[in-house]
Amino acid sequence: MRLATSSDSGLDSSSSLYTIKLLQGLAREGRTIVCTIHQPSATVYEMFDHVYVLAEGHCVYQGSALNTVPYLRSVGLHCPAYHNAADYLLEVTNKEYGNFTKALAKAATDPSWRLGPLVPVVDRLAGGVAVATSLVCPPAYDSNHNDAIYQGHRKEVEPLTVTVEQLPVKMDQQHQQRRPSEFAKLLILMKRSNIQLYRDWTVTHLKLFVHIVCAIVIGLLFGDSGINATKSISNVASFLVHILYLWYTTLMPGVLKYPYEMNILKKESFNRWYKIRTYFVASMLTSLPVQIFFSIVYASIVYAMTYQPCELERYLMFTAVLVLNTIVADGFGLFLGTFLNEINGTFIGAIMTCFMFVFCGFLIMFSHMSDAMRGISYLSSHRYSFEALVLTAYDDSRTDLVCPKDEMYCHYVKANTILRELGVVSGNYLFNVVTLVVHFVAIKVVGFWTLKRKLRMG
């Protein structure tokens, strides 16, 4: 929406007309243009699709500019011929002909004036024929007229009969302005979000480029750890790198994004443009495909470069875990961004990530934790992501790993050896995935609650 105040202020008639034509052209392209204008000429006034006139805090007219004269006539105010309708309307609102504010405010509630130019003489429809009643119109106004004669003179107009097909606007009572459905608002918000994502190159182009570069660097760093039995611990460590990288690069943009959008969201939701849940769903449906795509690109590169098992099923399981890890991080970003400001959200997000990393079961084994600490570890989504990745690589009767010829002994040739040392239960992949889904749903629900709470407090 474009808001323009006094768009013709300080301009001559030619420049003013050009400016209004420019705004009209923007409106024809699908934009909403709202502007105030002072003493417009008849040509400029008739270019407006919708006019809203206020007097003493009341709406005294709302509708098409071309319906102004018929509207005034409907309340007994006859605009002189060859008189600027906008000037006459302002004279009426300034009470130069008496106080008609209440009468105009009542008449303005009729939605039919908000349509296109109507036939003002139509009173009734009978059998497909519109019958016009006799109208009383003043003579042409000129500077030499006698006010007494002008006020007393009346001219009777012959009754006019036209068919419905001849009417410029169909007289359909159901043809009124309707508020768009909530689904239509959802589509509009999704379209707006997609445009914003496309225009913000740091969210799309740069982030995709960084994901590709980092995936290549990490792949080169860990090399053939996925198949080399002497590098199994390094391979397990690479799983934590994948989890933390995707988590942090998804969490922080959300923490910084939502406080910035909150002021806009407060204004739009306060004006009842859409419901909060509509914005929430639109935001989620727009951001999730992008996050999922980035995760798949990253996972595909590191899976191939670290020589993980060349099996489609394991690749899909590996990618699914990293995707779930990413969308859970997106939910945490929403929660922190709507619950805290940018500084506190960044600080708490970093601390939370560190603690979740500690409780994943690699830096300290679960068997080495006290019962209380082991219980806390179940709250960490990193634990389930890490276990699922380990099971993806080493569970389901995986074939023996390769032991280099220059090594006398490889302790982790058997895949179940590393599962046993890490304390990971075999066959527990589905449980970890379902738990990640539960974490995602729970954090989204909490994020929606904090979003509504912050808007209500604001």
pLDDT the model gives residue 164: 45
C-alpha 434/C-alpha 387 separation (Å) is 13
At residue 154, the pLDDT reads 39
What is the H or E stretch that residue 61 is in?
A: strand 58-63
Looking at the whole model, is its pTM more than 0.75?
A: no
Are the CB atoms for 386 and 360 separated by under 8 Å?
yes
The helix/strand/coil state of 104 is: helix
In terms of Cβ atoms closer than 10 Å to its own Cβ (0-12, 13-18, 19+), residue 63 is buried
Tokens standing for residue 142: 């000129």
**What pLDDT sits at residue 153?**
40
- The answer to whether 282 and 361 have CB atoms below 8 angstroms apart is no
Report the distance separating Cα 257 and Cα 336, nearest Å: 10
Whole-angstrom distance, CA of residue 410 vs CA of residue 48: 82
**432 near 384, Cβ under 8 Å?**
yes
Confidence (pLDDT) at 416: 87
CB neighbours of residue 441 within 10 Å: 12
| Cα dihedral: 250, 381, 317, 386 (round 10) | 100
Per-residue pLDDT at 117: 58
73-95 b/e (C-beta count within 10 Å ≥ 16 → b): beeebebeeebbbbebbbebbee
Q: Which residues contact 41 (CB under 8 A, 6 or more apart)?
A: 13, 16, 17, 84, 86
224 and 371 in contact (C-beta within 8 Å)? no
Alpha helix ranges (H) inside 176-204 = 182-199
From first to last of its 458 residues, the chain has per-residue pLDDT tens of 555 555 556 677 788 888 888 888 888 877 788 888 877 888 888 888 888 998 888 899 988 888 888 888 888 888 888 788 888 888 888 888 888 888 888 888 888 777 655 544 444 344 444 444 333 333 333 434 444 333 444 344 444 444 545 444 444 444 445 677 888 999 999 999 888 888 887 777 888 999 999 999 999 999 888 898 889 999 999 999 999 999 999 999 889 888 888 888 888 888 788 899 999 999 999 999 999 999 999 999 999 999 999 899 999 999 999 999 999 999 999 999 999 888 999 999 999 999 999 998 888 888 888 888 988 989 999 999 999 999 999 987 788 888 888 888 888 888 888 888 888 888 889 999 999 999 999 999 999 999 998 888 76
CB within 8 Å of 118: residues ≥ 6 apart: 64, 67, 70, 112, 168, 169
Distance CA(455)–CA(458), nearest Å, equals 5
Task: Output the pLDDT for position 127.
Answer: 42
Hey, where are the domains in the chain?
182-457
SS3 of 60, please?
Answer: strand
